[in-house]
Every structure is written in structure tokens, then in C-alpha cells.
Chain A
Amino acid sequence: MKHVNLLMASVPEETMATLAAKIFPLLGVVSFEERFGSHYVEERYFLGRTDQIEVKVMLSDDQDHSDRPFWVRISAKGNGMDLGDELIEKLVREKLLPSGLRVARIDKFGQVGEERFDY
């Protein structure tokens, strides 16, 4: 799988910036940047990279998933890493959930036929 979309919430509630600062180290991303674009909610998002993955932290603004307002998209770079279900489940259960995050994976995000899986 090339891309995985995760929707998240945090207790206590975080801002996009504080959530990004929490998420990137958990995913092995050492440095990241804030970027600006009109395509994004609040016209900004956070972008980080490793040799193998690219990670974006955004706001989703999807009313069907308002209980998980943060959208974290993990993408495999090139034709390398396979972001399969087992790898993502391990990542979520071993790193994200213990950090106080509530996480759902979304397949076909926003499309007709969208499916949500809560961890």
C-alpha cells in the first residue's frame, strides 16, 4: 500500500502544531516543517520525511468523522516500503494508542464507498 490515511484525536485536546510535534517522533521523523497552501484547512499543514516515508499532519474538516479531527497521511516513498495492514496496526497499537491518541484508519477517504476502522 502506498498511502495510509489515519484520523486521530487526542486527550487532552491538542492543536495541529502540538499534535505534529508528538506524532513525528513516534513515526521516526526527525525534522519537519510547517507549510502553507489554500488547499488545506486553516491553509496550513505539517510535512515530515524519512528515507522511507513522507508524513503529513492536517485537519480533516470531515463532518462524518468530527470525533477524529486530525488527519495524518503516511506515504511510502518511491516503490519501497509496503504500508500493509499489519505494519500500520503494529504502529498504531505500539506507538500511537499508548501516547493517548485515538486512531481510526480510513480507506477510500471521502469517496463513495469510504470505510473506517477504529483501533
Chain B
Amino acid sequence: MPINGATRNVPLGFESETQFHAASQELMDAMAENGINDATVGVRGSSVTGFGGNPRSPTFGQPFGPSSDIDLFVESSDVVSAFKNQPNFVPPDRMIDAYPNLEAWSQKWSELLGRPVSPAAWKPGALPSTPAILVKPQ
């Protein structure tokens, strides 16, 4: 489901909606293996907008291309509570340190899609109001 002005249902870099939903479901399953059952999965960034959308970034306005990653995330209170100071955002490498099974997920989808595909986390309510695609649980 596109939100915050997103206009596509499938992020750039995926071959189909089916493939995108498979990646999302596998991420949700990997989180559930860690006892995280409150996660909503989504994706944001240039694979959603088609270009770098942060005016404070040197990539602002650059089109999604071979050097662009695919940035999936989970929104979860349970995840954030495992981190000091309950941050609004947990970057992907810290997620993989905390939940090592996410590495296999990331490697699988990075190899399939030919670019880094990584999982971050947002505190519920802290997701920026920029375009994103949320995935409803199957």
C-alpha cells in the first residue's frame, strides 16, 4: 500500500509485486523467528520515489540506479525497545547484529536483485512523512 504520496505498489529493483511480497513476507517471518510479532514491513527511499528525495543529501535528485540500495524496514516497538535510548531509527547493520538471521535474508535478496537489500527499523510513529510502501500481513 503506497503512503505519503508514493505512486507505485512495487519498488524499483523488484521484478514483480509477487517477488516484492515474497521478500517482505520472508522479512516478517525472520522477525517472527526472533519473537518479534508486531512488525509492519515497508520500503522507502529512491526505489519508491525513483530518485534521491532528501534535500540535505548529496544524492538529492539523483535517479534510482545501479548504485542505489533497496531499503526495507520494519516498524516495531519490540525491536526498538532492545536498543539503548529507544531510538526512532535502527540502521541495518545494528539490526543484523541484534537479529543475526536477518543477514541470510539480506544476502539472499541482495544476490537475487543484484544490489544491497537491507532491513532497518523505525519506532512506530517515527517513520518520516516521505513516500513509502507498506505491506499488509498475508
Q: Is A3 close to B, CB under 8 A?
A: yes
A43:B54 contact, CB within 8 angstroms: yes
For B44, give its contact among A3, A33, A38, A112 (CB under 8 Å): A38
B98:A42 contact, CB within 8 angstroms: no
Q: Which of A5-21 contact B (CB under 8 A)?
A: 5
Chain A 89-119: CB-based contact to B (< 8 A → 1; otherwise 0) = 0000000000000000000111110100000
Chain A 31-74: CB-based contact to B (< 8 A → 1; otherwise 0) = 00111111110111001000000001010000010000000010
For B68, give its contact among A2, A3, A36, A58 (CB under 8 Å): A36
For B57, give its contact among A33, A42, A108, A109 (CB under 8 Å): A42
Which residues of chain B have C-beta atoms less than 8 A from A110's C-beta?
A: 83-84, 87, 90-91, 94, 97-98
The DSSP consensus for interface residues of chain B is: mixed
What separation, in Å, do the CA atoms of A115 and B70 have in the docked complex? Answer: 30
Given A34-B67, A110-B83, A114-B84, A39 and B97 touching (CB < 8 A)? no
What separation, in Å, do the CA atoms of A31 and B116 have in the docked complex? Answer: 17
Task: Tell me the count of chain A residues lying within 8 A, CB to CB, of chain B.
Answer: 25
Task: Tell me the count of chain B residues lying within 8 A, CB to CB, of chain A.
Answer: 33
A111:B82 contact, CB within 8 angstroms: yes
B59:A39 contact, CB within 8 angstroms: no
B54:A38 contact, CB within 8 angstroms: yes
Q: How far is the CB of A41 from chain B (nearest CB, A)?
A: 8
Question: Most chain-A Cβ atoms within 10 A of its Cβ — which of B84, B93, B98?
Answer: B93
Q: Which of B47-102 contact A (CB under 8 A)?
A: 52, 54, 56-59, 62, 67-71, 73, 82-84, 87, 90-94, 96-98, 100
Which residues of chain B have C-beta atoms less than 8 A from A5's C-beta?
A: 93, 97
What separation, in Å, do the CA atoms of A112 and B103 have in the docked complex? Answer: 20
Question: Most chain-B Cβ atoms within 10 A of its Cβ — which of A5, A34, A37?
Answer: A37
A73:B84 contact, CB within 8 angstroms: no
Closest 8 CB pairs of A and B: A37-B69, A38-B45, A43-B57, A110-B94, A39-B120, A36-B59, A38-B71, A39-B71
Other 8 A-B pairs with CB < 8 A, given A39-B45, A112-B83: A36-B52, A36-B67, A37-B45, A37-B68, A38-B44, A38-B45, A38-B46, A111-B84
